[in-house]
Structure 1
Amino acid sequence: MKVGIASFAHIHAGGFARLLAAMDGVTVLAADPETELAAPGEVRGKDFAAQLGVEYVDSYEELFAWAPDKVVVCAENARHRPLVELAAAHGVDVLCEKPLATTPEDGAAMVAACRAAGVRLAVAHPVRFSPAYLAVRDAVRAGTTGAVLAVAGANNGYMPGARRRWFTDPELAGGGALTDHTVHLADLLDDLFEGSPVTSVYAQTNNVLYEGEVPVETAGLLTLTYGNGAVATIDCSWSQPQHHPAWGGLAMQVIGERATVEMDAFDQKVHGFSETSRAGIELPYGVDLDALMLRAFLYGQGDGPVAVPDGEAGLRALRVVAAAYESARLGRTVSVG
């Protein structure tokens, strides 16, 4: 199978390339021509491909002339739409990094283009594959928790602008921490509630954590009301210290009529302390969620419990983000259109 990687802009692009190249029967070709906005010291383009050990071409035209079977789009958020539409025009299934786009209008156009072309549009929300999340979902759907009354979720992490400057560019990224870290939990709740819609959002944001360093919000808190009556909160802050051994995490507490269940998607680790370095250490042993997601994208869900979210799911999460920004701007609860 021939898999193209369109852009190395996203932090996850390198990991995706390595995982794909290691899969039996998969050949990888990458293109990353739009590097003019990279900060000094950011390794992109042909040099990054050489580090990864994958073949490289200089343009997206050459990438699609190679006739890939699938394409993974890892461009800056604002550049997702043209690349997804290019994949659709070539009849190629595409996996797009999250969030789907920077505006619901662009997201809807991407969904429409792929539908019209008869190609699959998937969105990179790998946390759906977390065994911890699947255990929570099983408990809810089996009735163990009873009806879900409330959910408290947190997706915290490093401030990613330290690795890729565009993450803190409001035009290229579409925002800051709210854009970056709302969609994973919004997607999990979309799946957990089996598509029950978000009816309203209240959000507050600030830039206390990196005041004066970046022009976007670095912390946010959302309250979502769902059509099924549940209320959820999402902490989407870039609050993980840069010196911490882990990038961050995603945790969720689901409160039901009969029971409360909790999950931490990335805490399959042995925690300890190194006397040599006089610092905390974490040794992960859990499954690689990106690998599970990529395999499901390439070969389908099969007998697995979950599929890669489609473009419609990505668009629903994007509409939550758009409503949250409107709420933060207006200082009141807003409806989700």
Structure 2
Amino acid sequence: MGRLEPPRGAVIGLGMMGRHHARILQSNAAMRFAGAVDPGGDRFGAVRDGALLYDSVDALLSGAGGAPDFAVIAVPTEEHVAVAQTLAQAGVHVLIEKPLAATVEEARAIIDAVRAAGVRGAVGHVERCNPALLALRERVQAGQIGEVYMVGTERVGPFPDRVKDVGVVKDLATHDLDLVRWLGDAPIERVAAQTQHRMGRDHEDLVLVTGRLDNGRAFNSMVDWLTPTKVRRTRVLGEGGMLVADTLSADLYFYANAHVPTAGWPDAAARRGVAEGDMTRYALERREPLAVELEAFCALIGGDEDATVVSLEEGLETVTVAEAVLESARSGETVAL
């Protein structure tokens, strides 16, 4: 049986991501707002009803409305495991902002807690809900570019003051490590990485990663907090051309190969290969990715086993790869997963 009314959801942490979750929970008909938790208060004015602002998870759980059906965990990464364990033990489904946890061990502890409690869990890798990337993946899987050769990502821009607990690998590059696996349609097999520390912080602020997926496809990712302009671009190159997604504008482009005639001259054909063909920018329906993500999670806890969420196991895999990237950078060696 389906739900008679939308599920009640809460937000734990009202920072950069949590405040937007709160906004959607208070305005989207697919869900109801159960409250928000932040010991520092509502500094962004995200909660309309002050009575629904709590200073602790325990206060939320014992509030007048009772425990929520689900909660979005948007606290700093090192706090994920403790908050997830508390909520799961209270019977609350959890959507955890990426990365799933600060370490592989903590990610496994979250999975164990969710399984033991019999609740649902997912990871907020919101880029998978970007309309340009959804359309890109659909076209790749439909065979538009034929055999896939490589997946490349670029995610660069100025340093965000919000980040205190991790470096660029676990904060930003986890987006890309998840995307190359999702778009390339196979787990990451091996990585080779270089990092830089240029801002005087303990954590890295630039990473270059190259690697290979289990199906033999290559990938590379460039991520930093040093570039004075913000770029978010993902491309998939194949035998028939290249699809490029700009996830800031949610635009998707296709660059077709154009084979240049050489009048039967095979040596010239070998030298020329392909040349630039037609370029198409697709018209896409654009919905806010965070709303799409929350709706999918509500569908999951409502019984839809096909809901397009990122599983906790996928989140663990991404944390595992992120640690391999850091190990490769430290050791100067290629690391096999």
TM-score (norm 2): 0.80
CA contact (8 A) 2:188 2:211 kept: yes
- 2:131 and 2:250 in contact (8 A); partners too: no
Matched, 1:61 2:51: no
Asked whether the equivalents of residues 268 and 286 of structure 1 are also in contact (C-alpha less than 8 Å), the reply is: yes
Equivalent in the alignment of 2:277:
none
Amino acid at match of 2:136: V
Residue 137 of structure 1 and its aligned partner are, at CA, apart by: 1.1
The answer to whether structure 1 residue 26 and structure 2 residue 32 are counterparts is yes
Distance 1:239 1:302 in 2: 44
332 and 179 in structure 1: CA distance in 2 versus 1, 3 angstrom threshold? same
Q: Aligned pair in 2 of structure 1 residues 60, 49: CA closer, same or farther (>3 Å)?
A: farther
| 1:221 and 2:215 correspond | no
Structure 1 residues 188 and 302, CA gap change in structure 2 (3 angstroms): farther
Q: Distance in 2 between matches of 1:90 and 1:186?
A: 32
Give unpaired runs (5+ residues) of structure 1: 34-43, 270-284
| Bigger Cα Rg | 2
User: Mind listing any 5+ residue stretches in structure 2 that lack a counterpart?
Assistant: 1-6, 252-284
Residue 192 in structure 1 maps to residue 179 in structure 2: no
SS at match of 2:226: coil
Q: Residue type matched to 1:237 in 2? A: D
Among residues 12, 20, 23, which one is paired with 1:6 in the alignment?
Answer: 12
Evaluate the alpha carbon distance shift between residue 254 and residue 49 of structure 1 in structure 2; reply closer, same or farther with a 3 A threshold. Answer: closer
Matched with 1:205 is: 195
TM-aligned CA distance change 1:103 to 1:28, over 3 Å? same
Q: Which segment drifts farther, 290-299 or 66-75?
A: 290-299
Query: Match for 2:167: what amino acid?
Result: G
The DSSP-based 3-state class of the residue aligned with 2:151 is strand
Say whether the 8 Å CA contact 1:156–1:237 is kept in structure 2.
Answer: yes
SS in structure 1 of the partner of residue 25 of structure 2:
helix
Match of 1:48 among 24, 43, 49: 43
Q: Secondary structure at the match of 2:208?
A: strand
Deviations 1:36-92 (A, max 9, x none): xxxxxxxx32x4375532421222111122310110101110000011111211111
In structure 2, distance between residues paired with 1:187 and 1:51:
29
- Confirm or deny that 1:290 pairs with 2:290: yes
Using a 3 Å threshold, how does the CA distance of structure 1 residues 302 and 113 change in structure 2: closer, same or farther?
Answer: closer
Matched, 1:103 2:103: yes
Instruction: Give distance in 1, aligned partners of 2:174 and 2:330.
Output: 19
SS at 1:299's partner residue?
A: helix
1:182 pairs, out of 173, 191, 194, with 173
Give aligned-pair identity as a percent. 33
| Aligned residue type for 2:117 | A
Cα separation, partners in 2 of 1:142 and 1:50, compared to 1, 3 Å: closer
Q: Does 1:255 align with 2:237?
A: yes
Alpha-carbon separation, structure 2, partners of 1:266 and 1:49? 23
Greater share of residues in strand: 2
Extract structure 1 runs of 4+ deviating beyond 6 A. none
Q: Distance in 1 between matches of 2:214 and 2:87?
A: 35
The answer to whether residue 226 in structure 2 is matched with residue 239 in structure 1 is yes
Letter in 2 for 1:82: A
Structure 1: distance between partners of 2:208 and 2:244: 19
Distance in 2, matches of 1:240 and 1:308, equals: 31
Task: Give, as a single letter, the amino acid of the residue that structure 1 aligns with 2:213.
Answer: Y
Counterpart of 2:43 in 1: which secondary structure?
helix
In structure 2, relative to structure 1, the CA distance for the partners of 1:147 and 1:51 (3 Å cut) is closer
| Deviation, structure 1 residue 116 | 2.2
Q: Which amino acid aligns with 2:11?
A: I
Q: TM-score, normalised by structure 1?
A: 0.80
